[in-house]
């Protein structure tokens, strides 16, 4: 389960992207203008080796409060993927 505390400070995202995984779900969090762009996809392959049609994209406001929303979103997506056995 992803917790808000697992996600990094805003200054990190101003310089680089963050990638991670939760069970079968892989994800990438990046700054896109005034927003976060969160991309998620079923593993096991990395972002560059995964076809675009299986990736999901979601935007969030670029704020510290949005990190909780991102954690909740990733947890929901992971649960949905786990339920697709």
Mean pLDDT value across residues 42-68: 97
Handedness of CA 24, 55, 16, 63 (dihedral sign): negative
Count: domains in the chain: 1
| % pLDDT > 90, the chain | 95
Beta bridge partners of residue 8, listed in sequence order: none
Domain range for residue 57? 4-82
Report the SS3 class of residue 41. Answer: strand
| % pLDDT > 70, the chain | 99
Residue 9: pLDDT over 90 = yes
Report the SS3 class of residue 64. Answer: coil
Mean pLDDT value across residues 59-79: 98
- The pTM of this model reads 0.93
Q: How confident is the model at residue 85 (pLDDT cuts 50, 70, 90)?
A: low
């Amino acid at each position: 389960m992803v917790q808000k505390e697992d996600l990094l400070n805003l200054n990190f995202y101003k310089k680089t992207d963050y990638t991670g995984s939760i069970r079968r779900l892989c994800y990438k969090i990046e700054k896109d203008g005034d927003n976060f762009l969160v991309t998620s996809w079923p593993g096991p392959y990395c972002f560059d080796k995964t076809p675009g049609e299986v990736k999901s994209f979601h935007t969030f406001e670029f704020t510290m409060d949005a990190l909780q929303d991102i954690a909740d979103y990733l947890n929901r997506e992971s649960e949905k993927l786990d339920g697709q056995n």
